Copies of this chain bind each other. A is one copy, B any other.
């Protein structure tokens, strides 16, 4: 039963309710300055003719969209999904809607995405990571809206920052393993620099090993980031084949770490008795798997929640300059490393 005739507008509602379009507008805005009786009349009239508020017109005239643009590397990642949840729940309370795009871990794609998103005139933009193409940086700087970079602590932030140092987080893990007496430690990650957070973790591993005076060359590249459980398993296979005396392996994510663990199980190699395994992210599987996985919790949900709170402060004018909120990832020692 689609109505083929044109969709009703506020003017139609106003005519039926016997008021001016302006009053209809106020009624829909929950503006206090319209009497309860009129509002009810109006809403009933609107319902009767099936009026649906037209946000496109509102957006243009009021120069407000109630959009907050968000770019994440991948939707299919529980960590980023958590950040997005924290963010969108915090924003929903203020009637702000997230306008989401995926970059596929590619800063070229991010550039295209940012351009598309900015055309929609969001009131703020949240990006994942601190590395962008020059043009993307320029667009963000000139957008005239609050910008938040997350999941990183960039050296030259564009605007606000809510994140942590991926390199330092991994260093904490390395230092812990070394303090336990281990020396032959490997790292499993992706084979390209597309995933900047993954690269940062690998670089952090290398720097930490060097700082400890240890050999940082046990590096296994497992495929295009983000690497999967399967790829983690395959990488573990290569590691066991080529460097069988490895005592511990740090994986770029819990997913690859779990894959690595399963490869050990298939080969009958006991974890942690023969080799320790650690991941990153504190995904649910890290806690549930047998043995449970040593990992790092970067508090993804908090990143989102604090970003939302920050944006609300900025929009309220309660935040003066650009803010940098440092998140402190937590090292979680579990069954796979003791």
Binding site for B on A (CB under 8 A): 1-3, 7, 50, 52-57, 59-60, 65, 75-76, 78, 81-82, 84-85, 88, 97-102, 115-116, 118-121, 139, 141-144, 228-230, 233, 255, 258-259, 262, 265-266, 284-285, 287-290
Which residues of B are found within 8 Å of A65, using beta-carbon distances?
56
- Summarize A's interface: helix, strand, loop or mixed: helix
Which residues of B are found within 8 Å of A287, using beta-carbon distances?
230
User: A52–B121 Cα gap in the complex (Å)?
Assistant: 9
Which residues of B are found within 8 Å of A141, using beta-carbon distances?
1-2
Closest to A159 in B: B2
Which residues of B are found within 8 Å of A120, using beta-carbon distances?
55-56
Please tell me how many copies of the chain the complex holds.
2
Contact indicator B290/A262 (Cβ below 8 Å): yes
Which residues of B are found within 8 Å of A119, using beta-carbon distances?
52-55
Closest to A283 in B: B229
CB distance from A49 to the nearest CB of B (A): 10
Contact indicator A262/B284 (Cβ below 8 Å): no
User: A65–B119 Cα gap in the complex (Å)?
Assistant: 11
User: A290–B118 Cα gap in the complex (Å)?
Assistant: 46
